[in-house]
């Protein structure tokens, strides 16, 4: 005879125990998503390179399922990533969601012919290699755990569809994330691992401050662009996260309604 607790674990409903890792949780979109999940009763591990900002995020959230786990993590380091997922396993025993969010724009505005190789590598290491390492660790955990499965949401960008001028490293890595999402999504099928991607345009964070002050357009002009509230991104990610594993938002594009993209400017 199954106990009430066991029957809960086997459900995908809102009362199931749900454990998430959010990378880049100390600011911007990662912070907003972490707070949104914590407020909805998720157990959350917050990862990023600065413990202080992770602790600030933790302090913003109402306590429902106990204090979030803050783990100083550089996603470009295989050792750090292994330690993060080991700590999650030790504290929570399983993993239901990875929000693969840590990222950098790199040195924006530098023409391709002047971009130092180190700068290129830093962006590739953070946005692509870091996302791969975290997804691989999540995949291993989700495949082995009982009940099996989980969800990975990669944070792409409008740059996964169309570049801004002088953004070769950022744009190339965000296009590559789409390949990562598709491949993991296919490889996750046998293990009940759902993989999707959110492509965001102009959420108001530190990264997009210059959108409002004036940013280079394809026609060479500087223009300020509309931004949207980061809370609207967080609600979208929570919706994707809380679907049953039999349903998946494969790609979601969420952008400031009037930003230049759909009209080719």
Ligand X SMILES: NC(=O)c1ccc[n+]([C@@H]2O[C@H](COP(=O)([O-])OP(=O)(O)OC[C@H]3O[C@@H](n4cnc5c(N)ncnc54)[C@H](OP(=O)(O)O)[C@@H]3O)[C@@H](O)[C@H]2O)c1
Active site residues: 170
Q: In sequence order, what are the beta bridge partners of 150?
A: 193
* Site residue total, ligand X (CB under 6 A): 31
**Which one, 126 or 181, has the nearer CB to ligand X?**
126
Compute the least distance from the CB of residue 196 to ligand X, in Å.
15
Contact assessment for residue 134 and residue 75, using Cβ atoms and an 8 Å cutoff? yes
**Which one, 38 or 75, has the nearer CB to ligand X?**
75
Compute the least distance from the CB of residue 204 to ligand X, in Å.
7
Q: Which residues contact residue 60 at a Cβ distance below 8 angstroms, ignoring those fewer than 6 apart?
A: 31, 35
Check residue 26 for interaction with ligand X (CB under 6 A). yes
User: From CA 70, how far away is CA 50, in angstroms rounded?
Assistant: 10
Site string for ligand X, 178-207 (x = CB under 6 A): ----------------------xxxx-xxx
With CB under 6 A as the contact rule, the residue among 48, 106, 188, 260 that binds ligand X is 48
Q: Is 254 helix (H, G, I), strand (E, B) or coil?
A: strand
Check residue 130 for interaction with ligand X (CB under 6 A). yes
Give the number of other Cβ atoms within 10 Å of residue 247's Cβ.
9
Pair of tokens at residue 204: 């108001």
Instruction: Work out whether strand 215-216 and strand 222-223 pair parallel, antiparallel, or are unpaired.
Output: antiparallel
With CB under 6 A as the contact rule, the residue among 36, 38, 76, 236 that binds ligand X is 76
Pair of tokens at residue 95: 């993993």
Q: Which residues contact residue 194 at a Cβ distance below 8 angstroms, ignoring those fewer than 6 apart?
A: 149, 150, 151, 152, 185, 188, 243, 245, 247, 248
With CB under 6 A as the contact rule, the residue among 21, 29, 176, 180 that binds ligand X is 29
Compute the least distance from the CB of residue 9 to ligand X, in Å.
30
Interface contacts to ligand X, rule CB under 6 A? 23-24, 26-30, 48-50, 53, 73-76, 101-104, 126, 130, 155, 157, 200-203, 205-208
């Amino acid at each position: 005879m199954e106990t009430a607790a066991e029957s809960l674990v086997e459900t995908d409903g809102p009362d199931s125990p749900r454990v998430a890792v959010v990378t880049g949780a100390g600011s911007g979109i990662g912070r907003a998503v972490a707070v949104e999940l914590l407020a909805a009763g998720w157990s959350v591990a917050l990862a990023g390179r600065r413990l202080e900002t992770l602790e600030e995020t933790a302090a913003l959230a109402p306590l429902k399922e106990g204090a979030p786990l803050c783990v100083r993590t550089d996603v470009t380091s295989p050792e750090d990533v292994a330690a993060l997922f080991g700590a999650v396993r030790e504290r929570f025993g399983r993993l239901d969601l990875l929000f693969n969010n840590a990222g950098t724009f790199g040195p924006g505005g530098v023409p391709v012919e002047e971009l130092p190789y180190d700068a290129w590598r830093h962006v590739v290491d953070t946005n692509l290699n870091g996302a791969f390492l975290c997804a691989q660790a999540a995949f291993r955990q989700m495949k082995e755990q009982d009940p099996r499965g989980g969800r990975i949401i990669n944070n792409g960008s409008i740059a996964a569809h169309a570049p801004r001028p002088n953004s070769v490293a950022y744009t190339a890595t965000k296009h590559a994330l789409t390949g990562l999402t598709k491949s993991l999504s296919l490889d996750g099928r046998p293990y009940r691992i759902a993989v999707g991607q959110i492509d965001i345009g102009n959420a108001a964070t530190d990264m997009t401050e210059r959108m409002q002050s004036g940013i280079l357009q394809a026609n060479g002009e500087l223009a300020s662009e509309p931004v949207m509230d980061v809370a609207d991104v967080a609600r979208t990610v929570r919706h994707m996260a809380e679907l049953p594993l039999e349903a998946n938002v494969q790609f979601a594009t969420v952008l400031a309604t009037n930003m230049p993209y759909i009209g080719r400017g």
